[in-house]
Amino acid sequence: MTRVDHRHRHRERIAEVLAGTTAEKVGYPIRVRAALVVRKAMVGSGLLRVTLGGAGTAGFEAHAPDEHVKVLFPDPDGALRLPEPAGDVLRWPDPSPTSREYTVRRYDPATGELDLDVALHAGGLGSDWARAVEPGAVVHVVGPPGGVIVPHRYDRYLIAGDLTALPAIARRLEELPRTARGWAFIEVADAGEHIDLRNPEGVRVRWLHRDGAEPGGPGPLARAVREVRVPGGERLYAWIAGEAGAIRPLRRWVRDELGLDRTDHDITGYWKRGVADFDEHDHE
């Protein structure tokens, strides 16, 4: 199947998908931005929110709850190598600079503020950066390259993930129609990692605690999700993200048990135990 790049008319394409009946990934023009750290704040005990702003975030585009940006880091010698604009895409240096991906939790076009919620864990490059960076620091971000646009025409929604997926889950619940129905499953360490969610009344949220188990292992998330029963004749959209190995069983379940078409679900490995800077597309 031929893949068409709609970046030159992405806003029109987003409107077309929203007016349709099936989800579709839509690419946006990709930009490199030099933003300023405005402030930081903990969100629960597991996420550290880094708010960016300044002239560099003006005109930022945010259209999908699972869209992300790359935060770029200098090389060991301190040099910062940035990709170069090439139309609506970028030309990256070889080798690519070190980066980490973060969900766009919020963008406010009135203030230009951009929130990135960083999941904290020991020894992580992104975690160490988020803890150490101070207001006023310059941060280079790239993207978003696009996102999955989901029409609000499904009968129910199944949303699931771990702490790394929580920013996308929170935003997705906020942006669903208030009449939406479905389920949200969120695996966290304990109640300290709970955050306030603005979910539709008809979407049941269930927090799953690991009770001392290490993150990313075979655990409660996959078991709980597979307990879902979809009423006959209803259309379901499923969005699931987390540790690649832990959510792998759900790929087959969504396909074989739920019978969902590939346009009706999005299951993404956000990270993989023991692999730094994991990119699912490099491991397919």
Residue type, 255: R
Cα 239 to Cα 168: distance, rounded to the nearest angstrom: 10
Strand, coil or helix: what is 148?
Answer: strand
Pair 97, 164 in one domain: no
Could you tell me if 169 and 250 lie in one domain? yes
State both tokens at 184: 């949200």
- Do 253 and 199 share a structural domain? yes
Residues 6+ apart with CB under 8 A from 94: none
Beta-carbon count within 10 A of 244 CB: 19
CA torsion through residues 275, 276, 280, 284, sign:
negative
| Final residue belonging to a domain, choices 131, 147, 163 | 147
DSSP for residue 231? P
Q: How many domains does the chain have?
A: 2
Report whether 185 contacts 225 (CB < 8 A): yes
pTM, entire model: 0.92
Amino acid at 90: L
Tokens of 6: 């709609």
With a cut of 80, say whether residue 212 has pLDDT above it.
no
Cα 34 to Cα 250: distance, rounded to the nearest angstrom: 38
Tell me the pLDDT tens digit for each residue of 2-23: 455 667 789 999 999 999 999 9
Domain extent at residue 174: 152-282
Tokens coding 90: 């970028």
129 and 157 in a single domain? The answer is: no
pLDDT in tens, 139-188: 999 999 999 999 999 999 999 999 999 999 999 999 999 999 999 999 99
Residue type for position 280: E
